[in-house]
Each structure stands twice: as C-alpha cells, then as structure tokens.
Amino acid sequence: MATDRIVLGIESSCDETGVGIVSRGRLLGHAVASSMDEHARFGGVVPEIAARAHLHSFNPVVREALNRAGLRLSDIDAVAVTTGPGLAGALQVGLAGAKTLAYSTGVPLYGVHHLAGHVAADTLEHGPLPDPCVVLIVSGGHTSLLVVRDLVRDPIVHLGDTVDDAAGECFDKAARVFGLPYPGGPAIDRAARGGDPRAVAFPRPLTGPKDDPYAFSFSGLKTAAARWAERHRLGDQEIPLSDGAASLQEAVADVLTRKALAACRAYGVRTLLIVGGVAANSRVRALAEERCAAAGVGLRVPPLSLCTDNGAMIAAVGDLLLRAGADPAPLDLSVDPSAPLEYASLHPVARPSAAGAA
C-alpha cells in the first residue's frame, strides 16, 4: 500500500473557508479566507453572507493551498470535507466543492465531523495522539469534555458538555456588552492585558460539590458580565474594562481547567488536549500549563493558527481515515448541521478493528 498519499481537506462550517493538504500526519500547506469582517457590523455571523463568501473564496483558497504545498490537483489522493456541525448553507458550499473535486479527479471523499477536526489539528504539530487522552473542546459553538482513544476507529466518549452557552459564545456576547468588537474572544484577551483578574468576583458555574463535575454552563457568567457592565455605565463611570475582561477570562479559564484536570484524575489519563478557538486564549493556555504541571499531566494545545477553523485539521482527519483503511463516503453524502460528536467520520466506515492500519 502506498505510504505517502496526499489528502486535501476543506472546511466551510462557519465564517472561514479553509483548505489544507496533509500527508502521513504532515501538513504540506494550507490557506484560509475569512468573511469575519463582513459580519462584524452585525455582531455575529450572518449565515447567508457566510455561504456566499465561501462560494467566492472556494477556488482561490484551493489554489492557494496547492501553491503553498507546491502541488497540483492531480497530486491529490483523497478529499475530506466538514459535513457538520455548522451553518447549513455554509456546509453545503464546501460539500458541493469537495464532491466536484473528488468526482472530477476520481479520488475518494470523506465526510468529517468539524470537532474531530479540531482534535486532529494538534497531531499536525505534536504527532499522533496518545491513547487515551482527555480532550477539552472549547469553541464558539461547543464546550465538551471527552475521552478520545483512537480518533478515527473508536467512538468518542462525552464526559460532559455545556448545558447552555459555549465558552466562546460567552466571550463573544460579553465583549458586545463591554463595547468590544466582534469576534469577542480575541478582543477580551487583548483587553484583559494589564487588568486585575481578581477585581470582579464572577461566578464559577457548576463547580459546587453537588454539581455534575464535567458539565459546563456559561450563560449565567455571560449575564453576570452584562450586569457588571451595566452597573458601571449607570454609575456614569468609565467602565474599568481591563479588570472586567481579566476577571471574566479568569472565571472561564478556572472552570475549564479545573474540570478538565478533574477528568484526567478520575480516569487516570496522563494527557490533556485543549482545542478549538478558545484554546487560543492566553489565560486558558497559561492556567492549563500551570495546573497540568502541578498534576503531572502532559498538556497539548495546537499552535494558534491551527486553533481556529482551518482546512488543515479536516485534512488531518481525512489522512487518519485513509490510513486506517476507512470506507469513503458515497457521492450522495449530505450535510448534518447539528451532527453530534460520536465518530470522527460522518458516514459509516469500516470500524473499529475491521479497518486495517496503513
């Protein structure tokens, strides 16, 4: 069996059109176009604008990724694409493009779960994942604590999820009431520099002795941040933004890392992986490092450029599926905007032990 087959991955679930090219766990090149600026004045992603932007960006981003890898379309051995979860129209554009590329070049197609892509992103920088690892996925739409064994062969075990908002959503919405630009996460991160993380006693939701140790809740924290901002405005004071941002960031980072390490301890797992857009947060990264070091747990976090949405992470899952001998998707593969994270692929593949290792 050939050992250096090349996979092109496509991501279009939200506002980033990403294309990445991976071979045997190695990133050969990738490109991302974002429609974020077009959404900024609406304070959030507008689905129709995102879908149209994917349509405009698809061909140029494929071309750019191929150029960066020094490859041509005819060099590609498989295509992987995000088929869910995400915005239906945005996913449709990526899937239609992926089918066109796969069908016209006669290569297999794989439908990939977006969040499995976030997990696989780390392998491009730090190599294969240890089995098992605890994974904390923190993005704009999801917050989940998982036990991952073999990412493409085994079912993904959910220890807990958010019961309301995702951590990224909390940052995005709090940023809005703080008067910061969209997307809120990076804006809060910047605003927090120099702020006092103990200035405001924001709550630590679901951390009581009777609470589910692995479930998350961020909507109360979001409301607490809004009330705090309102109180300061009503008092006609200049809002002490850096303190509010630093305190909010501290509360989110504290809850996330506390629960992730509790999971590592309870399940006897020695590696924690933190992925998704919020893994780019400087305080989440620093506190995770501190607490993992104290607990003797190895921490893996992808580089910043691979934390937010990109095509390389989808190519990374496609590469693992291809090497595991997984069945490709039928060409009538469709999108699943609210796909639960159960397996890395979003169509039936030969698993778990029926798939032969490459």
Distances (CA, A) of 85 to 136, 185, 265, 305: 17, 21, 30, 21
Q: Please give the size of the binding site for ligand KG4, defined by CB under 6 A.
A: 19
Closest CA to 269 of 260, 257, 278, 282: 260
Closest separation between CB of residue 277 and ligand KG4, Å?
2
Stretch that binds ligand KG4, among 151-159, 185-193, 338-346, 347-355 (CB under 6 A): 185-193
Which CB atom, from 89 or from 185, has the smaller least distance to ligand KG4?
185
Q: For the chain, what is the radius of gyration of the CA atoms? A: 20
Closest separation between CB of residue 310 and ligand KG4, Å?
8
Stretch that binds ligand KG4, among 93-101, 126-134, 262-270, 275-283 (CB under 6 A): 275-283
**Alpha-carbon gap, residue 82 to 62, rounded angstroms:** 15
171 binds ligand KG4 (CB under 6 A): yes
Length of the chain: 358
Taking residue 153's Cβ as centre, other Cβ atoms within 10 Å add up to: 21
Helical (H) or strand (E) element with 292: helix 282-295
What's phi and psi for 252, nearest 5 deg?
-65, -50
Angle at 281 between CA 276 and CA 287, to 5 degrees: 110
What's phi and psi for 91, nearest 5 deg?
-60, -40
**Alpha-carbon gap, residue 345 to 355, rounded angstroms:** 13
Closest separation between CB of residue 228 and Zn ion, Å?
28
Pairing of strands 78-84, 133-138: unpaired
Which CB atom, from 183 or from 197, has the smaller least distance to Zn ion?
183
309 binds ligand KG4 (CB under 6 A): yes
Stretch that binds ligand KG4, among 47-55, 72-80, 121-129, 278-286 (CB under 6 A): 278-286
143 binds ligand KG4 (CB under 6 A): no
184 binds, among ligand KG4, Zn ion, none (CB under 5 to 8 A by kind): ligand KG4
185 binds ligand KG4 (CB under 6 A): yes
256 binds ligand KG4 (CB under 6 A): no
Spatial contact of 350 and 326, defined as CB atoms under 8 Å apart: yes
- Site for Zn ion (CB under 5 A): which residue of 92, 139, 143, 217? 139
Which CB atom, from 246 or from 278, has the smaller least distance to Zn ion?
278
141 binds, among Zn ion, ligand KG4, none (CB under 5 to 8 A by kind): ligand KG4
**Alpha-carbon gap, residue 171 to 186, rounded angstroms:** 9
243 binds Zn ion (CB under 5 A): no
183 binds, among ligand KG4, Zn ion, none (CB under 5 to 8 A by kind): ligand KG4
Q: What is the Cα 140 distance to its own chain's centre? A: 8
302 binds ligand KG4 (CB under 6 A): no
79 residue type, one letter = V
Q: Please give the size of the binding site for Zn ion, defined by CB under 5 A.
A: 2
Which CB atom, from 23 or from 249, has the smaller least distance to ligand KG4?
249
Cis peptide bond upstream of 128, omega within 30: no
141 binds ligand KG4 (CB under 6 A): yes
- Site for ligand KG4 (CB under 6 A): which residue of 20, 89, 132, 183? 183
- 331, with CB counted inside 10 A (0-12, 13-18, 19+), is exposed
309 binds Zn ion (CB under 5 A): yes
**Alpha-carbon gap, residue 186 to 249, rounded angstroms:** 11
Stretch that binds ligand KG4, among 32-40, 133-141, 213-221, 332-340 (CB under 6 A): 133-141
Residues near ligand KG4 (CB under 6 A): 14, 139-141, 168, 171-172, 183-186, 189, 276-278, 280-281, 308-309
Residues near Zn ion (CB under 5 A): 139, 309
